[in-house]
Amino acid sequence: MSIGNLVVPHNVFELEGINFFEFVKLFAGEKLSSLVKFQDISNAQCLIACDNPFEILSLNSDDLLDLQKETCIKLKTNGFVVLPGLICKMKILKGILLKKCSELKKKSIISANINGTTDTSLDNPVIGNVTNITQLSVQESINIWSPIASNYATEDQLRQHLIDLIDDWCMQLKENENQFAFRLQQDTDYEIMIDPVSNKVLIKCQCSVKMVLGQKSNRYILSNFIRHLTQKKTMCYGSTKTNEY
C-alpha cells in the first residue's frame, strides 16, 4: 500500500511505544520503524521534535552496525549512506504529522461551562452580560507536551493557539443575544507566559494580575483568566470594546 493511500488515525498523537512503532511500520515501512524504535522516538511529538532522525547513523559504533546495514548503503571506505527512499519517507511522514497537528488545532473543542449565577451587585451592565461565562476549556487530542504541548513543535504555536481560543471566546459573546462584543489584544490586554521547565502557562492581565492556567484531562483550562475578566467590577479590557468583530 502506498503512503498516499494511508489515512493517519485521528488519535495518532496519543500513540505511544509499540503502538506508535506499528503505525510507523504501516505508514513508512519496517526499516523506518526500526530506526525510530532504536532511538526510543516513541511518539509523534518526539518525532516532530527530532531535527534529524538519521544523524545517529553517522556515528561509529558497533551497536549501530545492524541498524546501519538495514537502513544504509555501505561504502568501500566503510562509511554508510542512508537509503534515499527512507529519507523521502521520513520527510513525508513528518510533513503529514505536522499537517495533522494543524488540523487538530483548528478542530480543537472549546467548551464554555455556564454558571447560572449572576452577581446582581455589579454596577456595570456589560459585566452583567458576561459573568455567566466563566470557563473555557482547551481540548487537545494530545497531551500538553513534555515539556510544553505535545501537538506543538514550538512555544509560539502553543501561544498562538491560546490566543485563538481567547478570540473565539470573545466571538461567542457576540453570538449570544444582547452580549457586548469586544476583542482582547495579546501584549496589550494580556500576555501569555510559557515556562517549559515547570510545564506551566501563565496569563498576565493588563491590570498586572497573573493567573496560572489549570490542567485537566489533557486540557489547558482558561477558567482562571475568564473568571478574572468577568468578575471584576471594572472591566480590564475597556479599551478594546467594539461593536464589530
Q: In Å, how far from its chain's centre is CA 14? A: 12
Q: Which 8-state DSSP code applies to residue 146?
A: S
Contact between 19 and 65 (Cβ < 8 Å): no
Q: How many CB atoms lie within 10 A of CB 187?
A: 9
pLDDT tier at 21, thresholds 50, 70, 90: very high
Q: In Å, how far from its chain's centre is CA 208? A: 26
List the single range of 33-42, 51-60, 84-93, 149-158 with lowest mean pLDDT.
Answer: 149-158
Contact between 30 and 1 (Cβ < 8 Å): no
Q: Summarize pLDDT for 95-132 with one digit per residue, the tens.
A: 999 988 888 777 654 333 323 333 333 344 333 343 33
Q: Which residues contact 94 (CB under 8 A, 6 or more apart)?
A: 47, 48
Measured at the CA of 228, the angle between CA 222 and CA 233, to 5 degrees, comes to 155
Q: In Å, how far from its chain's centre is CA 190? A: 20
pTM for the model: 0.45
Q: Summarize pLDDT for 108-118 with one digit per residue, the tens.
A: 543 333 233 33
Amino acid letter at 99?
Answer: K
